[in-house]
Structures are given as structure tokens and as C-alpha cells.
Chain A
Amino acid sequence: MSTLVYVPRDSGALAVGADDVAAAIAREAAKRKLDVTIIRNGTRGMSWLEPLVEVATPHGRVAYGPVTVADVVSLFDFGFLKGDWHRLGQGHTEQIPFFKTQTRLTFARCGITDPLSIADYEAHGGLAGLHKAIAMPPAEIVATVTESGLRGRGGAGFPTGIKWKTTAEAKAPQKYIVCNADEGDSGTFADRMIMEGDPFVLIEGMAIAGIATGSTKGYVYLRSEYPDAIAVMSEAVKLARDFGMLGPKVFGSDYAFDMEIRSGAGAYVCGEETSLLNSLEGKRGVVRAKPPLPAHQGFLARPTVVNNVISLASVPIILDKGAAFYRDFGMGRSRGTIPLQIAGNVKHGGLYETAFGLTLGEIVDGIGGGTFTGRPVKAVQVGGPLGAYFPRALFDTPFDYEAFAKADGLIGHAGIVVFDDSADMLKQARFAMEFCAIESCGKCTPCRIGAVRGVEVADKILHGEEPAKQIALLTDLCNTMKFGSLCALGGFTPYPVMSALTHFPEDFQPRTFAVAAE
């Protein structure tokens, strides 16, 4: 009987040599005349252990990692195909504390199945949500999603069910479901992981959204920086079409739904929904003024649901298990689970899906295990390049939309980037402005010009030119950008800047002083 060996195909694993490891295992097995089948699964999300090789044993899957090509011969020698001891052995995958303590709903199959096997998908609970949706009146699907408390996981946290209801009630000959897969925030990779590791769950979520709102066409706007995800999603859409999951009659029902994968072209601002829609239409990715809302006039001025990947990928389990099941996880008005992405200078980085409500300290020190370098944590940026920097003093903030807003931050797409004490917060503040200047779409003045001025002001602070005056100017500039910008790019750039200034004022002191004092 063939032994199943899993070597992830997730780009996080490919980036650290998973293809070479898979090839080496195949070579060594052939040399030893052993019957081994290698499955290229998604990732379990424990990035520090990648490439994480798993072997199916009668007692469950056993993990080894991080495996390099040089380790392969010794893995065979020590009997890893039977799950025997090896210095890289991590024991049963599902017993690894980082994995065991999670609540995996959206990522239930990611890392377990072959991403491009519909049979595997169905065997692990896939398609149950879509079958239930087909049998329900569309209004009831919308009501279920609303009752589940699911909020947009892209960052804004808008209730998904309300968006769907608006589009469902709009009258038009053609409506659309657009999946925002332009995951540009540094520190985030949940969208990429689900698309590379369990693409059918996104397709299923989009089909359900289509049925619920009367939309027959879907688009996934996927950033060009993710070529591996584009390849997997494109293949998955073809397979889904052949399987009858997409097409003029979804699983033989009266509902039609089909979809296309579209590649972005390197503009961060296209993660903003209206600029994404312009880009999808073949225009410059310039932000639109709202109203009209995309739900009324979106793609090609027709009613359009624009949802983040994780929002849509969370829909199948809500339909399958019911609104109450999902809503019972979480705290306050933040219901369900959130895939935390723990990244940067951290010992145990990766994806950790859990109910809302853990504190930032529990996440960074507990789950993440502190910094990779072993130095003290200085700051944690939550929510991407537009998110605030949190000092240790705010580590008791619970992970919840409202609690983060109260602490002058945002959870955004739930990316958490850890910095050790070598971080220079003035440099980080300057970078936030520089990034905004590079990526501004140019439509509104506070963002287009404010960001350029912000870089100049930061440079003056660095060079000690009238620092007190410059800090007052920077604060004023941030205020203008926050309240005067059309979208979150200009409007939220003040978060990293002002949080750096508020929590780390010592880094904004003139550098010449520090040198002179030594």
C-alpha cells in the first residue's frame, strides 16, 4: 500500500524550498523502491516549520519540519514513513500547540486536503453549504448570513448580510459578485493561503452569494504579486465548471453562476473597493466617490457585491452549520472567528484562526512566542501599512473591531507585524507617508500632496530642523489627511504615523542630540 506524504504547495513553503524537498523525497523513495505518493497540500499555517512534511500513519498525520533537501535521506533512514522519531519530528500535526488551540472554521480544510481535488473537498465537508443554499429561498440565505454576525474581513468590518441584502433588493438585468483578493497589506496572507490551500471554499462562497443576491457572474480580482494563487484559483475554477458547481445550472438547479479570475497590476490602492471596480472595468484604479454604493452601482454601474476573500470563504460553513453556530464564537459585536496572521520578527509566525477576543499580548507573546531575534518586542503594527503601531503598554487590548478602534487602531485584515527594540519608529512613520505617496491614486489632495509633505516633515525631524514645530505640523497634516481624504489610503495613513509619534515620542527627538550626548 502506498504511503501518503504531504509536502505543501503554498507559496510560503515554496519560498523556503518545498519543491526541492518534494523532488528529493520522490527520488529517495524510488531509489529505495518504496511506494510513496506525494500530495501537494496547502499549508497548516505554521510558517516557522515550513517546509512541513507530513506522513499519513494509522494513528494520524505526523509532522516533520522545517525539512531541507539535506534532511531527506536521514528522514528515510530513521523511518519517517512509519512516523518514527527524527530530530525534526514535531509529533502528530494536530497536537502541535499552535495548531491544537485554534478554532478552524474558515480554514478547516486548509493544509489537510489536496487543494485541487473536489473529491477531497467534498469528503471534508465541502459543498454542504452550497447544496443547502440551493434548497433555500434566497432571502433566507441573506438572513442566515446577517444573523451569523459575519462582518467584512477585508478591514472595514461592514456587516456582510446587509451588503448582500442591498444588492439582492436592487433591480437590474445583471448583477455581480466581486471578490476582493487584492491583499496588499503587509503582514497579511490569509487570502493567499486560502486561495492556494482550499480554493473551492471561495468558489463555493461566491456561488452562494450569487444565488442569494440574484447575481450570475463573479470576478476574483487577484493581485499580480500572487502568481501561485492565480494559478491554483484558475485551475480550480475550471475543475468546478467541469464538476457542475459553476455554469448555467449550478448542480442542476435553476441558478446560473460562473466566474473569472482577473489579475491586478501592482497598485495597492486597488484593494479599495471602488478603485478595484474601476480597475476591473479597465480604467485607472482611481477611487470613486460614494454614493452611489457599489451595491447599487458597482461593476459597469450595475449592482455589485464586493466582498473580501475571507468573508466569502466563511459563508459555506455558516450555511452548512447555521448562523447560530458561527455567531456563538467571538465577543461583543465581533462574531465568529478571525484568521490572525502573525508575522515579521516573531518566533512562531503563521496563520492562527481563533474566535475574537484574545488580547494582543496573548497573541504576540503567547502564540507568537516573542521575537525571532530574541530581543524585546518594541512595537506591533496591526492591520497592515494603514494600521497603528501598538506599544507593550497596550498589550491588554482584546482583538475585537470596537476595542481596537477605541485604542486608536484598527484590526484591518488581521495582520500582526512584530518589531523588536531595534525598530526606529520615526523611520516607520516616514515609511508610512512614503508608501502613501507611492501608492496614492491621486484623486484627492490630502492624500496625493499630504503624503509627500509628510515625508518631507519626517526628514526635517530626523535632521533636527525645528523639531517641535515640525511635530506640530505633522500632527496637523495627519488631521487633514484623516478627515479630508476620500478613502482609507489617505485617511488611515495617519494611524501608523500618529501612533508612532504618540507611543514612541523618544524616537522623534533630533538625532544630532543623541550623538552629541554620547
Chain B
Amino acid sequence: MKTPILEIRNLQTGVEGKQILNGLSLSVNAGEVHAIMGPNGSGKSTLASVLAGKAEYEVTGGDVKFFGESLLEMSPEDRARKGLFLAFQYPVEIPGVSNANFLKTAVNEIRKSKGLQPMDSKEFLLFMKEKMKIVEMDKNMTQRSVNEGFSGGEKKRNEVFQMAMLEPQLGILDETDSGLDIDALRIVANGVNALRGPERSFLVITHYQRLLDYIVPDYVHVLYKGRIVRSGGKELALELEEKGYDWIRNETENVKV
């Protein structure tokens, strides 16, 4: 049996005293794409934030192992250096920091943690040029300040571009499809698909089935009230789309656990 790269066991978290995740368990093996779906307020984005290490979430129980190490003990930067990447639902604008400069530092920090030599400017530019193709990035987007004045679509493209640059082992996409028109969705999904490989896994968090037409998952999990209440193959997403989240609500409420 394969050792999972991410193993979440009975995770319980809250924010400001309110319990959000109520014993969530999930295993992800290398190369797998898992979709996490669920109605609003089910805890999808909380899961993404807790995995990336956002400070305001308090873990009240359970455990997360990433490559066998306890993830929850690590700082956000260490998680990134070990290969975890979160594509934010709402990427932050950082005026005054150029995209390219920021990414050069990030790439070299990650290389340093792996014992690799930092890339010099020339190497970095070539590397960046190659990765820009993946999400059809415009050259001037790399020179602009991080996300500043970017449209919704540009911000999401920039997230996937950063993921391509940092080459993580686990990419978490937090509602990357929200606010995208169909063309932007296709570009972003194509970018993600280009990054799929036997050594790279994804957690695709989404409200709608639509994204999963483009990024076809190996597994689909339904999150409800902070727990995974149903898991299945990609056909589960279609079933959800057809029957709506009320189906899950009714089923879960009727079966008293």
C-alpha cells in the first residue's frame, strides 16, 4: 500500500470559539486529484486555510501529516518549502512588490531549503518565461505589483502561475473557479492540468461541478457541517449537480450519527 503524502485524521478546528471542522479525515496519495465539494459554510475554505497555516484558526483536535511529518506544527513558510501550495480564493494585493521580484525570492527560498543553489537573474528569467506559457501570462503582469489592479481572472491566473513556478507536491485550489468567466476558467484549468503528474497531487475545493468538467478528479468528497459525509468517484460530482446540496442535507440529517 502507498503511503499518503497528506493524511488528515479527525481534524477539528474553530475560529473565534466557533467550531467549523468536526472531525475531518482524508488521505491523498501522490499523483491523485481530490475534489472537495460542499454547500456554503460547510468548512471548505477553512480546510484550505488550516492546511496552509493561517494563524486565526485554532486546531482543537486531530492531526495532519504531510510526508509523514506533523504539518500543524510547521510555520506557513515551512509548509510551502516542503511542497504545499495554496491558490487563494481571494489573492491579496501587495502594492510596491513586483511579481517577478517576489517570485524570485520565493523560488530561491524553496530551492535553499532543498539544498539547491539559488537561481541567478538570467536563469530565473528563462524559467519564468517557460512557466508563463502555462497560463498564457502576459509579460507585463510579472512586472506589475503582486495582484495590484489585477482583474479577478488575472488574479486566479497569477495563482496558478505561482504554483507552476514553485512546483509543489500538493496544490490546494480554494474555489479557484469563483468569479471566472468561461474563458478564464478554461485557461486556469488548462494550467492546472499541465501541472498534473505522478508526483503532484491536488485538492480542488469548489462549490460547483463546472470546474470538474475541466479538471477531472480521481475522487470527490462532500463536506457538510465540517465533516466528509460522502466520498466517491468523479460521478459523485455529477450526481450532486443533478440533485443539489439539499440531497446531502436531507440524507445527513435523517441518518442520525
Pair from one complex: no
Which A residues contact B (CB, under 8 angstroms)? none
